[in-house]
Amino acid sequence: MRTRSLSYWLFLAPVLIALTLVVLIPLMYGIYYSFTDWNGIEVGQFIGFKNYIDILEDKEFLASLKFTVLFSIVSIILINAIGLGLALLVTSKIKTSKLLRTIFFMPNLIGGLILGFIWQFIFIKVFSGIGDLIGMEQLQGWLSTTKTGFWGLAILMSWQMAGYIMVIYIAHLEGLPKELLEAAEIDGANRFQRFRYIMFPLVAPAFTVSMFLTLSNSFKLYDQNLSLTGGGPFDSTQMVAMEIFKTAFGESQMAYASAKAVVFFIFVAIISLVQVYFNKKREVEM
């Protein structure tokens, strides 16, 4: 028993050390510095909750938080809907299912910055060319407005994450009892009824995991935001991560940026925990 316990902690030690050095210690330092006026060079003096009070009047931060929340809601719906749809497609009886799985998953392997530049070219050059060809002015300057910039980010995020979420749904769909589905089909249940009353309740655990992943990835989005819109026009598509980064390194207000990061961390943690709680509760009720 002692040998097993020792080997367990030896295998776990590298992960715990890395987690402590990379996550926990910086988090503690960030919380401490958020109560000071540290500018990144000089050791700051303790100023209490001043940074947190200033956040309540920071219109730019609040605007970026609102934009991030709306973007996350849309992204969660789109990514999970598309991911589940792709999973249903590739688990159906088609000959090219393995090839399609690879194709759908590939965008997730591309870095966020590269994806942003690829879609920037598509939205600006390709859309403008198509708009000139068919005479649609709506396709001109796709990233030049807040509305189209918002949907540009949503499309990019959905294209990147849908294949990854598809894999999670596939794992649960392929584990469904075939006898149950066949019995429902014999009893006269159509395809929609089999999905609604049998398949969807049984893949509810996958939905909980997928929603948590899409929620966390949507809130912390930075590199795609940077390369696609750069926060423009006039910081109207600037997400919270970019706003915090600009405060820290653009304005050299490290302590204030740390306070924003702490508030953002608490905000995302609360939403994530509430989401997991209600999804788990719904799984039990199903």
Write down the pLDDT at residue 1. 46
Q: What is the pTM of this model?
A: 0.86
Above 80 in pLDDT, residue 285?
Answer: no
Above 80 in pLDDT, residue 124?
Answer: yes
State how far the Cα of 175 lies from the Cα of 173, in Å rounded to an integer.
Answer: 5
Write down the pLDDT at residue 159. 93
CATH level 2 (architecture), domain 51-285: Orthogonal Bundle (1.10)
Neighbour-count burial of 195, counting CB atoms closer than 10 A to its CB (0-12 exposed, 13-18 middle, 19+ buried) = middle
Write down the pLDDT at residue 284. 59
The pLDDT tens digits for 67-94 are 999 999 999 999 999 999 999 899 887 8
- The closest of 194, 173, 174 to 183, measured between CA atoms, is 194
How many residues are recorded in the chain?
A: 286
Return the domain boundaries, the chain: 51-285
30 touches 262 (CB < 8 A): yes
